[in-house]
Amino acid sequence: SQTIHQWPATLVQPVGSPLSLECTVEGTSNPNLYWYRQAAGRGLQLLFYSVGIGQISSEVPQNLSASRPQDRQFILSSKKLLLSDSGFYLCAWSVRNRPTEAFFGQGTRLTVV
């Protein structure tokens, strides 16, 4: 069976510090991978998606970047965090030809102080 791992679950970081959130998927090959952000009480905003190694599509220009160094690994990064980067970050994957059914990780709650 397929599983998705996302860590850490919670993170408190000072303004100006770097960020690295990691997500890995097991049990499937060549998945679509996604990073979403969810503000409190709001919907999901797509940040990045990837259809293959090294292929990253950015939805919204901002203080974040993403990388896919391996087929089932997706990393969300920032060189210098801003207060506005606080939120609930969700990694997800889907089968290549079935993007409607995305499987989400448990999320990382990031607080920038």
List interacting residues with other proteins (CB under 8 A): 32, 34, 36, 42-46, 49, 51, 57, 59, 90, 92, 99-107
Minimum distance of other proteins from residue 29's CB (angstroms):
16
Decide: helix, strand or coil at residue 84: helix
Closer Cβ to other proteins, 7 or 103, answer by number: 103
Minimum distance of other proteins from residue 13's CB (angstroms):
20
23: which strand partners?
A: 6, 74
Closer Cβ to other proteins, 23 or 79, answer by number: 23
Closer Cβ to other proteins, 11 or 51, answer by number: 51
Q: How would you classify the pairing of strands 10-13 and 108-112? A: parallel
Contact 95, 31 (CB under 8 A): yes
Q: What region does 84 belong to: left with phi over 0, alpha with psi -120 to 50, or beta?
A: alpha
- The first and second tokens of residue 92, run together, are 């997800």
Minimum distance of other proteins from residue 82's CB (angstroms):
22
Minimum distance of other proteins from residue 28's CB (angstroms):
15
